[in-house]
A and B are shown apart, each in its own frame.
Chain A
């Protein structure tokens, strides 16, 4: 489903070149749960951004279902992101002036889905995450756990097959963290692929495979039990 072929990312600041990510190759199958771990500044988020089509690599290719993300136009890449990739962020990134249902509708608004379908789909997703009574609540009127559930509903609005999550449980209490984690596993069971950046060992321990990034280098660990259980 996803092939990452020798991608690297360098930043040049003045005369200095910073190697944010050295040559990394990963192949991911549909339905896999992948965790990316490593210390701060190791290049985890850089890798996630490149997989998500938001940051072009210095070298290498990212292929999603055989389509090279950085060999298509910006417009096509935006469209692909809208339809096939879902993002989940540590700080939720909900739009503050929109209520819960409008936040979930956002990807569909950008796609051009008609209003009725937008509303029905967003309502259905929020009810699935137990927020049927919070449709009209603004983000500031929701708890952190509720906000992340709204964000999760938004991630699923377009039914993406690939979900990229950057520390999605980082700001949550243990109860909310467990709920989000369970939801992610449920999504994997539905055949969706999850790639998640985390510091939380409990989260990475539940992944099928774990990629450790340190000093720009990547090493892989396979959680056989999890994989076999899946």
Chain B
């Protein structure tokens, strides 16, 4: 037998008391884990929705007024393509994707259309100067053009890479992984009205391009456009290395805070705008939920701490005679104190683990049911929950432990 087994046997002897303390801790931790897990999932969903919305920051030529988000390139003014390089090399935190565009008028079968030049991701990869930036390469292979960052709500942004060969992913991500110089993508509306199908050759700006894919309907002006490689469009339209707009997919947290200002400083001759209202609202909601979860946790832990202290005081009072006997048999005050704190930390750890399980189950049920988000585990909440549960149990048990250590064994015998 050792002191640990002595503590364990005592806890088993008073299951009601031990379970009450466990339940208190478990409730607090489960509330934190449940709310945090739902918040984490919600943030991921928001980030994903933001991503699906497309770019949340636009770099436009100076003097351009943004009337239509989906037609931000239809204003006739231009920026040097070199700005794309400048943004990439600056490795701004929060920059997930860059999508430079150049739109020029053209004709297809005698009908006026807009041809938009886009830069596939492989073009970023080809540029040797950009490859020299370590994080850029990883960003192109995975996600993120800029430096690694925490992203929305302190979590990494959830930018889906999708199928690299799937050209239709452009409709969702605004990014095409690969598009060769002789290929084009056709909007769903245009394809429908002209009967164009994948594999067909079309005549654009005096050049023949093969239709690599038909974009799914987006309900935007993209539905009536032809998309081709940016450099092909620049060459065919003889515009030189210019673009009309650089769409930036910035992670929402940074997009709402300093990124716009940083891009503004980087490109003084351009106009940087963001869909700030949407971004700000989402970020505010996320922050509010995040804070709310900690407020709930703090309240529950405060109540839990007081309850644990009460339970432990009662435990010490009930055990006066036993603790006095242990002292008579040679237990030091520190040893008595340690026994009480050991019990408290056991309650904290076991209660924390149970609370974690309960919280996940609650989030798993409540997330999809009430908030429409699938739950994911918040490791941060798990770690904080466990740590705080043990800490609260220890702090709450310190006064009873101190009282136990200072018990007068003679008085304990008189009680008998």
| Chain A residues close to B by CB (< 8 Å) | 45-46, 49, 52, 54-55, 74-75, 78-79, 81-83, 87, 89-91, 93, 95-98, 102, 105-107, 109-111, 115, 118, 154, 158, 166
Contact = CB atoms under 8 A, between A and B. Distances in A.
Name the residue in A54, A55, A82, A90 with the highest tally of chain B Cβ atoms < 10 Å from its Cβ: A54
A109 B410 contact: no
B1 A83 contact: no
B1 A118 contact: yes
A89 B413 CA distance: 8
A97 B409 CA distance: 20
Interface of B: 1-3, 6, 9-10, 12-13, 321-322, 324-335, 408-410, 413-414, 416
B332 A166 contact: no
Contacts of B10: 97
Contact of B327 (A78, A95, A102): A78
Contacts of B414: 45
A154 B327 CA distance: 14
Contact of A52 (B322, B328, B335): B328
Contacts of B329: 81-82, 87, 106-107, 110, 154
Contacts of A89: 325, 413, 416
7 contacts: A45-B413, A78-B332, A91-B416, A93-B321, A96-B322, A97-B13, A106-B1
A54 B328 contact: yes
B1 A96 contact: no
A46 B254 CA distance: 73
A105 B1 contact: yes
Contacts of B332: 74-75, 78-79
A214 to B, nearest CB: 20
A97 B321 contact: no
Nearest to A115: B1
B234 to A, nearest CB: 82
B322 A95 contact: yes
Given A81-B328, A106-B326, A97 B9 contact: yes
Nearest to B415: A91
A81 B325 contact: no
A83 B2 contact: no
Given A97-B9, A97-B10, A109 B1 contact: yes
A154 B326 CA distance: 12
Given A93-B321, A110-B330, A102 B1 contact: yes
A222 B325 CA distance: 32
Contacts of A111: 330
Nearest to B12: A97
A109 B328 contact: no
A157 to B, nearest CB: 9
B340 to A, nearest CB: 15
B13 A81 contact: no
B410 A93 contact: no
Give the one of A82, A95, A106 with max B CB within 10 A: A95
A35 B240 CA distance: 114
Nearest to B414: A45
Contacts of B331: 78, 82, 110
A163 B370 CA distance: 69
Listed from nearest, the 3 A-B pairs whose CB atoms lie closest are A82-B330, A97-B13, A78-B332
A204 B413 CA distance: 22
A160 to B, nearest CB: 10
Contacts of B3: 109-110
A49 B416 CA distance: 15
Contacts of A54: 327-328, 408-410
Contact of A74 (B325, B333, B410): B333
A160 B410 CA distance: 20
Contacts of A107: 329-330
Contact of B326 (A46, A52, A55, A110): A110
B402 to A, nearest CB: 14
B19 to A, nearest CB: 16
Given A81-B330, A95-B326, A111-B330, 8 more contacts: A79-B330, A89-B413, A93-B321, A93-B324, A93-B413, A93-B416, A102-B9, A106-B329
Given A97-B12, A109-B2, A55 B330 contact: no
B324 to A, nearest CB: 8
| Among B1, B12, B326: residue with most chain A CB under 10 A | B1
Contacts of A115: 1-2
